[in-house]
Amino acid sequence: MPEIKVTPLGAGQDVGRSCILVSIAGKNVMLDCGMHMGYNDDRRFPDFSYITQNGRLTDFLDCVIISHFHLDHCGALPYFSEMVGYDGPIYMTHPTKAICPILLEDYRKITVDKKGETNFFTSQMIKDCMKKVVAVHLHQTVQVDEELEIKAYYAGHVLGAAMFQIKVGCESVVYTGDYNMTPDRHLGAAWIDKCRPDLLISESTYATTIRDSKRCRERDFLKKVHETVERGGKVLIPVFALGRAQELCILLETFWERMNLKAPIYFSTGLTEKANHYYKLFITWTNQKIRKTFVQRNMFEFKHIKAFDRAFADNPGPMVVFATPGMLHAGQSLQIFRKWAGNEKNMVIMPGYCVQGTVGHKILSGQRKLEMEGRQILEVKMQVEYMSFSAHADAKGIMQLIRQAEPRNVLLVHGEAKKMEFLKQKIEQEFHVSCFMPANGETSSILTNPCIPVDIALGLLKREAQPAPRGFIPGAFPPFSPQSFRLVSPEQALKELGLAEHQLRFTCRVHIQDPRKEHETVLRVYNHLRGLLKDYSVQHLPDGSITVESILIQATAHSEDQGTKVLLVSWTYQDEELGSYLTALLKKGLPQST
Amino acid sequence: FQYCLSGHPTLPCNVLKFKSTTIMLDCGLDMTSTLNFLPLPLVQSPRLSKLPGWVLKDGSTFLDKELKECSGHVFVDSVPEFCLPETELLDLSTVDVILISNYHCMMALPYITEYTGFTGTVYATEPTVQIGRLLMEELVNSIERVPKAQSASMWKNKEVQRLLPAPLKDAVEVSMWRKCYTMPEVNAALSKIQLVGYSQKIELFGAVQVTPLSSGYALGSSNWIIQSHYEKVSYVSGSSLLTTHPQPMDQAALKNSDVLILTGLTQIPTANPDGMVGEFCSNLAMTVRNGGNVLVPCYPSGVIYDLLECLYQYIDSAGLSNIPFYFISPVANSSLEFSQIFAEWLCHNKQTKVYLPEPPFPHAELIQTNKLKHYPSIHGDFSNDFKQPCVVFTGHPSLRFGDVVHFMELWGKSSLNTVIFTEPDFSYLDALAPYQPLAMKCVYCPIDTRLNFIQVSKLLKEVQPLHVVCPEQYTQPPPSQSHRTDLMVECQPPAMAYRRAEVLTLPYKRRYEKIEIMPDLADSLVPLEIKPGISLATVSAVLHTKDNKHVLQLPPKPPQPPASKKRKRVSDDVPECKSLKPLLSGSIPVDQFVQTLEKHGFSDVKVEDTAKGHIVLLQEAETLIQLEEDSTHIICDNDEPLRVKLRDLVLKFLQKF
């Protein structure tokens, strides 16, 4: 049986450095190429030596697909393509292609310039890497080679995020990347058609969470921000430059407008304006409402939100600051956090998931004394709030997507093992499909049952498909070569092989007692058969013979006995059943005429 | 089959019947009919209202309310009407899908979707829909804001029309001409559209796959591939090989077509678009330098983006920095905004700009620096800001409605001013006719980036379709230049021509169809090598057909007859399902056959030779077996066990297929 093999190099029972190898019908595809925020050593990148020990990656992989621009999905790409060496195609959507290099450059700067690491990819490498990228449209079928095709579906989550269908012949896999099943203030919901893949590889960040309605969360968020600002506190919201940031900005912008608030809102880093610009230019990727109204009012032009300057952090009085990065693991958000952590009037709101090992994760798990660089201990007195705004599908959403796509198997990645286990059981119970959750480096094999396409002669198809939908097809495949099967009618097969048909004919003599004249006997036989064989064409021909379909019945008088008539029933082997039946029937004699 | 519903080669409307699906290709609206009408002025025009009524040669004046005369031309004084695609040729409610190739070719959509009982789906790309909506909005708006009390219909009477001067006399199907649709109808029509992306494979009823491909002509413009597993029809409509703003044309995917339908070629085959742009700029600069105004009648989207881009590069060097450019259209703002958000549908250079991120079109900068201003109409803010000399871009290119009518009336009397025609859809002389006599200069710089005949012949050589189908206009030189045999489509075999209201049988035939075989059935097949290198397996299977997909499955096990019913009535035995017997092949060697018969207990076998073979006689059983090379005939008494025994013996010698 053919099988699909899946091996996560990252994101197997874990969140971070997503990288999943898929082998399907002889094709090898790498899904995402991310980095891990929780590590600063070798473990931050997937172990590409797993793919091939000696050979070139380009020879082994048919293509690489990047689902969206978050670094845990694309952060290792320049390392992979330029330092390990891969020259094949890399596919991503247009917005991802636009934004990805900027985030990579940002990441490079933090790592090399600030932390002073060497042996890291360079700006030039990012550029060279991006040259290998082929941008894809939503729903476009991209023919990677003759057999392998991929297709992107809208995934919500962040601007340009996509789910990908990978298809070879009848076999297919869908990889969701990160997705969101509920539309938010700036993006739409993920959507896929009933494509019935053999395997659905789904993220499961919120495998056990069922989130309350978005409105409640938003109200909660606004209330907390408002209260803090009212009592003169400062609010820090660590975000990634693109994604949640825009949603929360829209939220605060409209709230400030409505409540006529005066406290300043800042957005850190130069990326901001640029980021908003991307949203403006790729507005077709946002949700319906924003797209409809953008001519009158572009939602990404903010009145109340201004650029942040480092000096502002020490300003007295209330303020709200969006700062990057989102998990408080480095950069400006961490700097501001250190400044404000000591004051209980202040608040930090974590609007998204934090990977283990980051400061964000530590404070969310209740740690209040943090060991910073240089053995310094930072005491956190400010309020720490967690509010799930990250646009991942929750358990309900994941189930919904499975219902939409109707996969034959499900495989979970990008989540924590314990939570996955729970969801796996739920999926198996509800959908009666197998569910896998391989750890990193572990391979899951999924058996498939692909059908085999053949060419059928049109005449044969029409003959079989029309009158009797359940007719049996006698057919043949000449010539028999694995590349091209053809199904033709037996007649054509014989003709193509240069063979003549051998006709096998039977003629049976059936004796009937009937003193009447021959033509009267024939008429009686005719009426009798017509009465019985309602579904067959029974005809009385002018030459005195009867046909039942293609079976011929003729009557002659017995040479010796005038009271006996001999019926000659003649049929070919192809009418064997009917011929045999008819002779048996006639042998029983004719009913008494009334 | 192909049904041609529009005679206009660049505004096509054809219906294709392909594998039991009915597909409408484009929905073009022929607006040249409006040239027969008087312009709709936004402000009361004394000149137009004073035009004399038309009087017949015999002096009768019964038409003078409907028809007005201007400089020797006769115009209908009524709400302008459009020439619809043919609606009688076939029942349009049977159309399953409509494929739209570009925003100019969907203007008749509301007439089709809202009036014919159409219940199918329309497919188009997102830019096509958005910009198509803008074009329709502008059209509806510019006609609805000038309500006209009069609706002329008397002149349409066949008897009356015969008496009219040309071109009214020769106008076709005037009784079918219709007034413009309304916004609710536009919205209803557009709601039936499903958005598609380039190279997206769309399955129609499992039988047909359609795919839009970039055609390079306009934002989101597409050619379509309509194919089954074994036939491929390419629909090429409005394509361009020039590098302007849209994504380049995808030619490779058009290869191996059985039929290529070719429409939407350039309407001005003799004009070079680049040269025309140059002329446009220099005429514009000259007029403005002399203190005159320039009027550019145009559509709100398309070539205007390229013109603005040229001007952006040109104005500083030409010293025009202080000249205001006005873009007046109810959809001007939307059009400029929309152009900036379709990054994925743009040419590579523009895409790269978006990645920076910068707006792809430089008109964003023109607007920011106040060099280009846009207004919904001449009323309101525009009248306050209006400064002369200036350049005005506005619609409609037919000069029959829209703000352009106002500027023609305003500027027509001065020879300082210039009107520059860039849109190729209307004859500029006809467009100008109701404004004669005119003092203003008229410059004709038609910019049509669609394929010319040289490019067509190159394209056809490249993609090698088996047959080409095109409007009849393309199979002969243009009537005005009958010696230019280079201005027609040349290919081998010659292109098949179609004309309005004609049905064409397309020459594709197929012999095979794709079906799928279930793996368990495939496993059960035993290939047999019949001849060296040729193997064969016989298949006995059940064909399942669902949604036009065919799957071969193992035949179900015959159900065991219920044991309880011992005695069945004869009629129950009627063989129910026609289980076909295989074909036989081979011949029976008579000696071996006789030996076999003897082995099976027939002792009295007698063989007679005949002309073609042998006759084997079983005397006791009164049975006769005729053996010939390709046939065997068993003639016996009604002794079923005997017959079956003989049958099986014969079958042993034969191959089954």
Residue A481 one-letter amino acid = S
Would you give the end-to-end CA distance of chain B in angstroms?
37
**Residue in B with minimal Cα distance to A579:** B575
Choose from A586-590, B46-50, B562-566 the range with maximum mean pLDDT.
B46-50
Q: Which two tokens stand for residue A58?
A: 């380009």
Q: Which fold has domain B2-34+66-266+451-504?
A: Metallo-beta-lactamase; Chain A (3.60.15)
Query: Which of A461, A468, A578 lies closest to B550 in CB terms?
Result: A461
Cα(A566)–Cα(A559) distance, integer angstroms? 9
Q: For A408-438, what is each residue's pLDDT tens digit?
A: 999 999 999 999 999 999 999 999 999 999 9
- Nearest one of A317, A357, A445, A363 to A3, comparing CA atoms: A445
Would you give the end-to-end CA distance of chain A in angstroms?
66
Q: Which two tokens stand for residue A544?
A: 């005195």
**Residue in A with minimal Cα distance to B340:** A281
Cα(B263)–Cα(B265) distance, integer angstroms? 6
Candidates A130, A131, A144, A284: best to mutate against B (most CBs of B within 10 A) is A284
Sort residue A310 into left (φ over 0), alpha (ψ -120 to 50) or beta.
alpha
**Residue in B with minimal Cα distance to A296:** B334
Lowest-confidence range among A65-69, A157-161, A329-333?
A: A329-333
Over residues A536-550, the mean pLDDT reads 83
Judged by a CB distance cut-off of 8 A, whether residue A365 touches chain B is no
Query: Which of B197, B334, B632 lies closest to A502 in CB terms?
Result: B632
pLDDT of residue A82: 94
Task: Confirm whether A147 is a catalytic residue.
Answer: no
Candidates A137, A292, A560: best to mutate against B (most CBs of B within 10 A) is A137
**H-helix segments, B51-146:** 109-115, 126-144
pLDDT of residue B564: 43
Question: Does residue A151 carry a pLDDT above 90?
Answer: yes
Query: Which of B516, B540, B654 lies closest to A453 in CB terms?
Result: B516
Over residues B41-49, the mean pLDDT reads 87
Judged by a CB distance cut-off of 8 A, whether residue A141 touches chain B is yes
- Nearest one of B347, B362, B385, B386 to B311, comparing CA atoms: B362
**Residue in A with minimal Cα distance to B641:** A580
Judged by a CB distance cut-off of 8 A, whether residue B652 touches chain A is no
pLDDT of residue A270: 58
- Nearest one of B191, B5, B29 to B111, comparing CA atoms: B29
pLDDT of residue B72: 86
A490 or B622, which is more confident? B622
Candidates B301, B513, B540, B612: best to mutate against A (most CBs of A within 10 A) is B513
Domain spans of chain B, in order of start? 2-34+66-266+451-504, 273-444, 584-656
Domains in chain A: ranges and CATH: 3-210+391-446 (3.60.15.10), 214-386 (3.40.50.10890), 454-489 (no CATH), 505-588 (3.30.310)
Cα(A580)–Cα(A573) distance, integer angstroms? 10
Query: Which of A481, A508, A586 lies closest to B636 in CB terms?
Result: A508
Cα(A527)–Cα(A591) distance, integer angstroms? 10
Q: Which two tokens stand for residue A120?
A: 């890291």
A 417-476 residues with CB below 8 A of B?
449-458, 461, 464-465, 468-476
B341 or A38, which is more confident? B341
3-state secondary structure A353-374: CCCCCCHHHHHHCCCCEEECHH
Query: Helix or strand or coil: residue B272?
Result: coil
Looking up tokens 């040289």 gives B454
B 108-167 residues with CB below 8 A of A?
126
Q: Which two tokens stand for residue B223?
A: 């050619």
Cα(A434)–Cα(A418) distance, integer angstroms? 18
Q: Which overall architecture, per CATH, does domain B584-656 show?
A: 2-Layer Sandwich (3.30)
List A171, A203, A385, A464, catalytic entry: A203
Beta bridge partners of B346: B246
Q: For A355-398, what is each residue's pLDDT tens digit?
A: 777 888 899 888 888 888 777 888 899 999 888 777 788 889 99
Q: In chain B, what residues touch A491 (CB-CB under 8 Å)?
A: 583
Judged by a CB distance cut-off of 8 A, whether residue A134 touches chain B is no
Query: Helix or strand or coil: residue A310?
Result: helix
Question: Does residue A542 carry a pLDDT above 60?
Answer: yes
CB A544 within 8 A of CB A522: yes
Helix or strand holding residue A4 (H, E): strand A3-10
Cα(B380)–Cα(A265) distance, integer angstroms? 37
Cα(B459)–Cα(B453) distance, integer angstroms? 10
CA dihedral (B493, B499, B505, B509) positive or negative: positive
pLDDT of residue B559: 53
Q: For B367-402, what is each residue's pLDDT tens digit?
A: 999 999 999 999 989 989 999 999 999 999 999 999
Test A504 with B340 for CB contact under 8 angstroms.
Answer: no
pLDDT of residue A479: 41
How far is the CA of B277 from the CAs of A85, A346, B281, in angstroms?
47, 62, 6
Q: For B235-276, what is each residue's pLDDT tens digit?
A: 999 999 998 899 999 999 999 899 999 999 999 988 899 999
Q: In chain B, what residues touch A94 (CB-CB under 8 Å)?
A: 343-344, 351, 354
DSSP B378-433: STTHHHHH--SS-EEEES-TTSSSSTHHHHHHHHTT-TT-EEEE---SS-HHHHHG
Sequence-ordered list of residues with C-beta below 8 angstroms from that of A11, at least 6 positions apart, any chain: A17, A18, A19, A20, A32, A34, A72, A203, A413, A414, A440
Distance from CA of A502 to the nearest CA of B (A): 4
Cα(A202)–Cα(B100) distance, integer angstroms? 36
Q: Mean pLDDT score of chain B, rounded to an integer?
A: 87
Test B354 with A170 for CB contact under 8 angstroms.
Answer: no
Over residues A488-501, the mean pLDDT reads 73
Question: Does residue A446 carry a pLDDT above 70?
Answer: yes
| Confidence at A148, pLDDT banded by 50, 70, 90 | very high
Q: In chain A, what residues touch B644 (CB-CB under 8 Å)?
A: 580
Q: Which overall architecture, per CATH, does domain B273-444 show?
A: 3-Layer(aba) Sandwich (3.40)
Q: DSSP character for A109?
A: I
How far is the CA of A252 from the CAs of A224, A280, B43, B374, in angstroms?
12, 18, 47, 32
- The Cα diameter of chain B in Å comes to 122
Cα(A435)–Cα(A210) distance, integer angstroms? 20
**Residue in A with minimal Cα distance to B361:** A281
Strands (E), B291-336: 294-297, 325-328
- Percentage, residues of chain B above pLDDT 70: 94
Query: Which of B344, B550, B632 lies closest to A465 in CB terms?
Result: B550
Question: Does residue B13 carry a pLDDT above 90?
Answer: yes
Test B516 with A455 for CB contact under 8 angstroms.
Answer: no
CA dihedral (A41, A45, A47, A49) positive or negative: negative
CA dihedral (B283, B289, B293, B296) positive or negative: positive
Test B511 with A457 for CB contact under 8 angstroms.
Answer: yes
Q: Which two tokens stand for residue A262?
A: 């005066």
Cα(A460)–Cα(A471) distance, integer angstroms? 12
- Nearest one of A135, A136, A283, A246 to B340, comparing CA atoms: A283
CB A321 within 8 A of CB A331: no
pTM of this structure: 0.83
Over residues A334-338, the mean pLDDT reads 90
Q: How do beta strands A347-350 and A383-386 pair?
A: parallel
CB A421 within 8 A of CB A437: yes
Query: Which of A458, A468, A474 lies closest to B513 in CB terms?
Result: A458
Test B344 with A505 for CB contact under 8 angstroms.
Answer: no
Q: In chain B, what residues touch A146 (CB-CB under 8 Å)?
A: none
Q: How do beta strands B14-18 and B21-25 pair?
A: antiparallel
Test B354 with A281 for CB contact under 8 angstroms.
Answer: yes
pLDDT of residue A464: 61
Lowest-confidence range among A203-212, A284-293, A326-335, B515-524?
A: B515-524
Judged by a CB distance cut-off of 8 A, whether residue A3 touches chain B is no
Judged by a CB distance cut-off of 8 A, whether residue B564 touches chain A is no
If you count them, how many residues does chain B have?
A: 657
Judged by a CB distance cut-off of 8 A, whether residue B209 touches chain A is no
Q: For B139-174, what is each residue's pLDDT tens digit?
A: 999 999 988 777 888 888 888 888 888 888 888 888
Residue A284 one-letter amino acid = T
Lowest-confidence range among A115-119, A294-298, B569-573, B645-649?
A: B569-573
Judged by a CB distance cut-off of 8 A, whether residue A311 touches chain B is no
Q: Give this complex's ipTM.
A: 0.81
Test A500 with B630 for CB contact under 8 angstroms.
Answer: yes
Cα(B275)–Cα(B282) distance, integer angstroms? 11
Q: In chain B, what residues touch A532 (CB-CB under 8 Å)?
A: 570-571, 574
Looking up tokens 């290529």 gives B260
Test A282 with B518 for CB contact under 8 angstroms.
Answer: no
Judged by a CB distance cut-off of 8 A, whether residue A168 touches chain B is no
Lowest-confidence range among A258-262, A484-488, B271-275, B392-396?
A: A484-488
Candidates A456, A484, A565: best to mutate against B (most CBs of B within 10 A) is A456
Q: How do beta strands B605-609 and B613-618 pair?
A: antiparallel
Query: Which of A464, A474, A584 lies closest to B582 in CB terms?
Result: A474
CB B448 within 8 A of CB B274: no
Query: Which of B527, B573, B635 lies closest to A581 in CB terms?
Result: B573
Q: In chain B, what residues touch A141 (CB-CB under 8 Å)?
A: 199-201, 211
| Confidence at A289, pLDDT banded by 50, 70, 90 | confident
Cα(A454)–Cα(B490) distance, integer angstroms? 38
Question: Does residue A27 carry a pLDDT above 90?
Answer: yes
Q: For B470-499, what is each residue's pLDDT tens digit?
A: 999 999 888 888 888 888 888 888 889 988
- Nearest one of B6, B44, B51, B46 to B25, comparing CA atoms: B6
| Confidence at B43, pLDDT banded by 50, 70, 90 | confident
Strand order, beta sheet including B232-237: B202-204, B208-214, B222-227, B232-237, B259-263, B467-471, B496-498
Test B341 with A478 for CB contact under 8 angstroms.
Answer: no
Cα(B74)–Cα(B163) distance, integer angstroms? 12
Q: DSSP character for B94?
A: G
Q: Which two tokens stand for residue A106?
A: 């940002």
Question: Does residue B444 carry a pLDDT above 90?
Answer: yes
CA B566 from chain center: how many Å? 65
Looking up tokens 């009477």 gives B157
| Confidence at B533, pLDDT banded by 50, 70, 90 | low
- Nearest one of B426, B429, B408, B404 to B417, comparing CA atoms: B408
Q: In chain A, what residues touch B133 (CB-CB under 8 Å)?
A: none
Cα(A362)–Cα(A364) distance, integer angstroms? 5
Strands (E), A458-586: 472-476, 486-487, 503-513, 538-540, 546-548, 551-557, 564-572
Test B634 with A506 for CB contact under 8 angstroms.
Answer: yes
**Residue in B with minimal Cα distance to A96:** B355
B 436-465 residues with CB below 8 A of A?
none
Query: Helix or strand or coil: residue B107?
Result: coil
A 86-105 residues with CB below 8 A of B?
94, 97-98
